[in-house]
Structure 1
Amino acid sequence: MQIINLIKAIFSRTASDPKVVRPRVIEATSKEMNIAMHRLDELAKPAIFGEIGGGKPQQDNRAASWWGGNFLGAPGEDVPICNQSGKIMHPVLQIRVDELPEIPPAFEGFALINIWMDLQSSSFWGAENGNGFLVRAYTDFENLVPLGFGYRESSDLPTFPIFWRETILEQPVWQDMVDEVPTNVAQANADDWFSKSKYWSDRYFELCSRYPVKVGGWPTWIQGSDWPKDAQFLFQVDSTFKGKMSFVDSGSFYLFKTLDSWVIRGDCY
């Protein structure tokens, strides 16, 4: 009987628990961390936040930054028509460059930039100029004339002046930063140097939540970086209740300048 019990015990033993292989904790050297933080400082760019309204409008002054109308254009230009839908585009945002407290490199050489959109289009997310949106830029104000809806002449969008409220240094999101740092820093578990840096302050997040227009700085991507090839970032517009413009689920659009055109990107939650 004892022999039978011994045989049962041998064959009923459970296999020993497999060894848990824990991933190696990566620790960047102090030199690698210094390289990463120095690179973060190099990449931080001035972001200029614009408020839609918030001050008394100069209704007859089209040579200013405007939301929803009061645009200028060159003599002979017509209100643009979307290449894809065939619909008339609406004036959305006009930026008078010399009103900006700082002029980002992508704006140099321009006096006025405006963007028109087919407000019913969903195809401009990632589109080229003329499909769902159109950007026109002017090097000076000479001979520019009123074009499109004037002050409060359309019910599609409200007409407000844009006031440039504050400038703050902005760092890129992680997807735009990860290839700029040493591999051990990018793969390390500790990321406070980035996620709690001096650039992501309470003041910065307050400005992002308060003002829907941002010129310069970096795109604040929602679902991941989507830079067009060989492009410079110009500005970002977030969904805005006051401006009566919504991009899907609290989304944003981002405008880029390429070597020979303009490209738009969209993102949402």
Structure 2
Amino acid sequence: MQPGALWSMGDYASNGDRWAEASLRLAGELVRPGQTVLDIACGPGPFAIAAALAGAEVTALDAAPALLETARHRARDAGAEVAWVEADMTAVPLGDDAFDLVASAFGCMFAPDPEAMAAELVRLCRSGGRIAVLAWTPESAFGAMAPLVGPYLPGPGGTSPVERWARPASVRAVFAGLPVRLQFAVRTVDVVWDGLDHAVRDITEHNPAWLGIRAAVEPTGRWSDLEWDLRALLAARGREEPGRFTLPVDYLETLAAKS
């Protein structure tokens, strides 16, 4: 399945809204008025819209038409001016050295070839500019989902490209030979649902990646077991409070300064 079709499944916008605070935090810390900014794999647009409202000249790219349409509506409602581009993030149809800031919040980590993705990020960023990438850490609740799911999937398993963006050592390897200076920080975003039951339903019924997992596992007759394991993982990592379930999720923030 093509990335655009996959990420148009379900309702990723409502899923992504639950951790949008990480994107807003990044925009608040890095974006300045007058900058040229590119948001890669922008999803429903939280980073792009925040950057535009901060006074930057923003271009936002995604392969999923449904997510871009949602992002356009949200930008219009917020009074934010953004140039939207439908394209594959690994082959961006924009010029070299075009942006002061190139950012991807939980997006470019899914690129099948991390080294090629890193080279594309660097190509798009001007000399003296910055690149920012957010990715879930392996130790986080979201990072723990891949090893949870692996044994349930039919066929041989493999290493997810997401893992290459999740630790400083592997990110350094991804950017090896490219003209950047790297720095890292581990941060946390609280992902909140109405309750644990709501969290399980929201993930398994709306998240595009989990819809793909469900389609692969259900024919094996083991879906209910995987769903139970997911619930146990969330229960162990999160906390139930009156009227809400909160899941703290760690992510690695990579900042690269291009020389």
Using the size of structure 2 for normalisation, the TM-score is 0.23
Please state which structure has a larger fraction of its residues in helix.
Answer: 2
Using the size of structure 1 for normalisation, the TM-score is 0.22
